[in-house]
């Protein structure tokens, strides 16, 4: 096992770190008990983490904390700054009006926690994707008034994907504000999840990557980035496997887009892989293993790959040392752990 550098010449910034308000956890438990939404993925994931097992209790204690325990875990892991965001599925299981109201309260609460530790935290804003006008307004308020650094989109919203133009106001706002949207995983939608559930493949082991990679590709193929060419999206988990598919995506989409086989697929201004290289950034969340991290740096570019732990969902302090052993030199490590995150999330040096 590789040991982390006790005094590295850079700060370590973790860019996909989850937080949940106590109110949100209570609402999730209520939804689980009353089964008011038809989302088997939510029932599977939060049915367990809303329970009373030792693992669930420790997880929920950590995810709600913005003070002593989280800071100690960061210190013990060697993390200097965390980019915090409302945990998946965030407000996206509620009706649009309720979700918009909750997002305002949770963004305020997150900003208050950041204000208590401004040298340790920055944050991303939650919003209701199916309430596009209010989503854009809340992103703008959160960035301009609360000082948050972008938005968090927990992939599909009750089976709805944001490649539909009626939901694009929030992307327009993000481009205008020059802040990124983090496209974070969700469990597969009700229409997608059945083959995953029996063998426990619905969440982080595989389902997250399938669902979130699908959403990212839908955004690209829809022409979103031709409409908003400066928009930046962040993908965790080394890109939900998409960097490994660049050649095949280009080859197949290139043929499909001119075949008129699908009425909603048209030629784009650039190759699909170019959007993945120019409109997306990537983090190592949940992947404390050097080979895929180095692969993304190689095929996408070293200026678009950042460190993330995925705390507390995957809390593995030893991964810092494993990734610091990458043979990319001191400048490469500084870029990976610090510089890229500072540039994207506008994190100043104190």
Separation in Å, CA 198 to CA 202, 240, 293, 332: 9, 22, 30, 42
Q: Given this model, what pLDDT does residue 87 score? A: 98
Residue 16 has pLDDT above 90, yes or no: yes
As beta bridge partners, residue 114 has none
Cβ atoms of 276 and 228 closer than 8 Å: no
Residue 306: pLDDT band with limits 50, 70, 90: very high
Tokens of 195: 């083959």
Residue 114 has pLDDT above 90, yes or no: yes
Residues 6+ apart with CB under 8 A from 252: none
Q: Tell me: the pLDDT tens digits for 131-188?
A: 999 999 999 999 999 999 999 999 999 999 999 999 999 999 999 999 999 999 999 9
Averaged pLDDT for residues 276-292: 98
Averaged pLDDT for residues 226-234: 98
Q: Given this model, what pLDDT does residue 38 score? A: 83
Q: What DSSP line would sit under 250-270, residue for residue?
A: HHHHHHHHHHT-STT----SS
Cβ atoms of 185 and 88 closer than 8 Å: yes
Residues 270 and 211: their CA atoms lie apart, in Å, by 24
Q: Given this model, what pLDDT does residue 35 score? A: 85
Averaged pLDDT for residues 340-349: 96
Residues 6+ apart with CB under 8 A from 310: 16, 17, 18, 236, 237, 285, 286
pTM equals 0.97
Residue 91: pLDDT band with limits 50, 70, 90: very high
Set 39, 131, 310, 339: catalytic member: 310
Residue 349 has pLDDT above 80, yes or no: yes
Q: Tell me: the pLDDT tens digits for 194-226?
A: 999 999 999 999 999 999 999 999 999 999 999
310 dihedral zone (left: phi>0; alpha: psi -120 to 50; beta): left
Three-state SS string across 156-202, please? Answer: CECCECCCCHHHCHHHHHHHHHCCCEEECCCCCCCCCCHHHHCCCCC
Q: Given this model, what pLDDT does residue 328 score? A: 98
Cβ atoms of 17 and 82 closer than 8 Å: yes
DSSP E strand stretches across the chain: 13-19, 81-86, 121-123, 151-153, 181-183, 233-235, 280-283, 305-306
Tokens of 149: 């650094």
Q: Is 67 assigned a catalytic role?
A: no
Neighbour-count burial for 247-278, b at 16+ CB within 10 Å, e otherwise: eebeeebeeebeeeeeeebeebeeebbebbbe
Cβ atoms of 138 and 127 closer than 8 Å: yes
């Amino acid at each position: 096992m590789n040991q982390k550098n006790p005094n590295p010449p850079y700060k370590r910034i973790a860019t996909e770190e989850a937080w949940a308000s106590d109110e949100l956890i209570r609402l999730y438990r209520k939804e689980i008990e009353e089964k008011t939404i038809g989302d088997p993925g939510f029932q599977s994931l939060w049915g367990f983490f809303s329970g009373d097992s030792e693992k669930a209790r420790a997880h929920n204690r950590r995810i709600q904390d913005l003070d002593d325990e989280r800071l100690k875990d960061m210190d013990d892991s060697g993390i200097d700054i965390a980019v915090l965001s409302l945990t998946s599925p965030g407000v996206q299981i509620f009706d649009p009006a309720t979700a918009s109201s909750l997002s305002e309260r949770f963004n305020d609460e997150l900003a208050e926690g950041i204000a208590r530790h401004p040298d340790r935290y920055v944050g991303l804003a939650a919003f209701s994707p199916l309430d596009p006008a209010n989503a854009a307004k809340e992103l703008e308020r959160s960035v301009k008034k609360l000082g948050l650094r972008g938005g968090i989109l927990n992939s599909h919203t009750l089976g709805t994907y944001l490649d539909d133009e009626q939901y694009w106001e929030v992307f327009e706002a993000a481009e205008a504000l020059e802040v990124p949207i983090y496209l974070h995983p969700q469990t597969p939608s009700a229409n997608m999840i059945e083959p995953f559930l029996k063998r426990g493949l619905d969440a982080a082991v595989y389902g997250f990557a399938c669902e979130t990679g699908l959403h990212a590709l839908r955004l690209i193929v829809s022409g979103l980035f031709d409409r908003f060419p400066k928009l930046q999206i962040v993908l965790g988990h080394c890109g939900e496997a998409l960097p490994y598919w660049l050649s095949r995506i280009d080859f197949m989409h290139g043929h499909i887009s001119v075949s008129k086989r699908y009425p909603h697929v048209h030629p784009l201004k650039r190759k699909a892989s170019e959007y993945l290289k120019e409109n997306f950034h990537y983090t190592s969340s949940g992947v404390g293993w050097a080979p895929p991290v180095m692969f993304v740096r190689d095929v996408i570019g070293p200026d678009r790959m950042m460190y993330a732990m995925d705390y507390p969902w995957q809390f593995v302090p030893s991964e810092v040392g494993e990734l610091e052993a990458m043979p990319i030199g001191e400048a490469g490590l500084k870029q990976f752990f610090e510089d890229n995150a500072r540039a994207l999330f506008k994190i100043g040096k104190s």
